[in-house]
């Protein structure tokens, strides 16, 4: 599933083409691509046609395109984009032939770039578009990266800020960890605690911070949490600079190009290969419905865990 770097690459790629563009036509070919939209495909087409995209915004793995015009009731709205497992937002020339697995096509007209098509393609049909109401952020800060408005879609209101967000609260994150008796990897994947991190970047950040994925979150010392946050940010930033991680053709940017961070992975997907740090073998263990990849020598489980252990380390 796309994580923060992949979604940010898509957001940044869409921005020059869609911001200021007017929707001149919408074709919803597959109702499954509107499962999160509170209305019919015909209603989605009618509500979106004639409106103007005012920006692109992202929080964690969630992407939305704010609309300049309010709803008939006067409420601000956006097109919410759930990429799911295999969703793609592609920019194509006006009149370009249909994409494989194309679900929705939005014809736009930009004052500088002319006519274009924004295509939502999705092989597995877990992704969705939806017109969603925008609501104020509790802290009055921008709802997400790429757009200054202090608004966030209702469907993403429960999602925590991500570590690359200027409004991310490090102290709040540390306080939340103290309350968690779960393994640290499970907490990193909890989008209500911190967003944007999935299986790949959780494994990479934990490897970089030398933390075992099964270490109890509440047992980590403050300095360890600070180191983890620093490594999370470093891993996400590096992946973003390299266009994200592509293992197959399902993740691509708006031009259909793959990212190449997969060549920089140190732990994820490297089971049975030498750890780049110590030379021992990276192992893979079962984790919920996925896997964890780590070095058992560099990333050892803490012998004593709990809040008392964290206090002793301060």
Q: With 90 as the cut, is the pLDDT of residue 242 above it? A: no
Across the chain, how many H-helices and E-strands are there?
A: 7, 11
Q: Note whether residue 165 is domain-resident.
A: no
- pTM, full prediction: 0.88
Statement to judge: residues 19 and 130 lie in one domain: yes
Comparing 74-83, 178-187, 222-231, 234-243, the range with the smallest average pLDDT is 234-243
Statement to judge: residues 143 and 179 lie in one domain: no
Give the active site residue among 11, 51, 59, 61: 61
Comparing 41-55, 209-223, 236-250, the range with the smallest average pLDDT is 236-250
Q: With 70 as the cut, is the pLDDT of residue 247 above it? A: no
**Nearest CA to 134 among 84, 192, 65?**
65
The answer to whether 2 is a known catalytic residue is yes
Statement to judge: residues 236 and 110 lie in one domain: no
The answer to whether 61 is a known catalytic residue is yes
Angle between helices 222-241 and 199-209 (to 10 degrees): 130
Give the active site residue among 3, 77, 102, 214: 3
User: Given 129, 156, 183, which residue is the final one in a domain?
Assistant: 156
Q: Is 238 annotated as a binding residue?
A: no
Give the active site residue among 2, 5, 66, 153: 2
Domain that residue 204 falls in: 170-313
Q: Distance (Å, rounded) from C-alpha 23 to C-alpha 106? A: 7
Q: Distance (Å, rounded) from C-alpha 187 to C-alpha 160? A: 12
Q: With 60 as the cut, is the pLDDT of residue 154 above it? A: yes
- Answer positive or negative: Cα dihedral of 128, 134, 138, 142: positive
Statement to judge: residues 284 and 245 lie in one domain: yes
Tally of domains within the chain: 2
Q: Distance (Å, rounded) from C-alpha 227 to C-alpha 291? A: 23
Q: With 90 as the cut, is the pLDDT of residue 303 above it? A: no
The answer to whether 273 is a known catalytic residue is no
Give the active site residue among 273, 290, 300, 307: 290
The CATH number of the domain where 249 resides is what? 1.10.8.50
pLDDT-based confidence at residue 288 (cuts at 50, 70, 90): confident
Mean pLDDT (whole number) for 245-249:
43
Instruction: Decide: 64 and 19 in contact? Cβ < 8 Å.
Output: no
Q: Is 101 annotated as a binding residue?
A: yes
Beta bridge partners of residue 88, listed in sequence order: 121
Q: Is 124 annotated as a binding residue?
A: yes
Q: What is the DSSP string of 261-305?
A: GGGG-SSTT-TTSB-TTT-SBPEEEEETTEEEEE-TTTSPPPSS-
């Amino acid at each position: 599933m796309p994580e923060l770097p992949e979604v940010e690459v898509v957001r940044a790629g869409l921005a020059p083409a869609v911001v200021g563009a007017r929707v001149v036509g919408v074709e919803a070919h597959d109702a499954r691509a509107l499962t999160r939209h509170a209305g019919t495909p015909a209603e989605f087409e009618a509500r979106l046609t004639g409106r103007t995209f005012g920006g692109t915004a992202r929080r964690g793995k969630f992407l939305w395109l704010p609309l300049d015009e309010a709803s008939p009731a006067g409420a601000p709205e956006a097109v919410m984009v759930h990429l799911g497992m295999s969703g793609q937002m592609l920019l194509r020339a006006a009149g370009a032939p249909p994409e494989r697995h194309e679900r929705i096509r939005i014809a736009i007209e930009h004052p500088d770039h002319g006519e274009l098509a924004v295509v939502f393609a999705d092989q597995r049909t877990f992704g969705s578009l939806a017109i969603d109401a925008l609501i104020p952020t509790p802290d009055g800060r921008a709802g997400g990266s790429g757009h200054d408005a202090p608004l966030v879609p209702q469907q993403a209101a429960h999602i925590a800020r991500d570590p690359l967000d200027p409004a991310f609260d490090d102290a709040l994150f540390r306080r939340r960890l103290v309350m968690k008796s779960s393994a640290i990897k499970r907490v990193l994947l909890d989008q209500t605690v911190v967003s944007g991190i999935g299986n790949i970047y959780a494994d990479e950040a934990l490897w970089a911070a030398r933390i075992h994925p099964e270490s109890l979150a509440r047992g980590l010392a403050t300095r360890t949490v600070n180191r983890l946050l620093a490594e999370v940010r470093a891993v996400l930033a590096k992946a973003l600079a390299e266009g994200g991680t592509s293992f197959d053709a399902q993740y691509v940017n708006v031009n259909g190009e793959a990212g190449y961070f997969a060549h920089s992975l140190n732990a994820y997907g490297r089971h049975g290969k030498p750890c780049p740090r110590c030379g021992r073998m990276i192992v893979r263990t079962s984790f919920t419905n996925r896997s964890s990849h780590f070095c058992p020598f560099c990333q050892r489980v803490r012998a004593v865990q709990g809040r008392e252990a964290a206090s002793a380390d301060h």
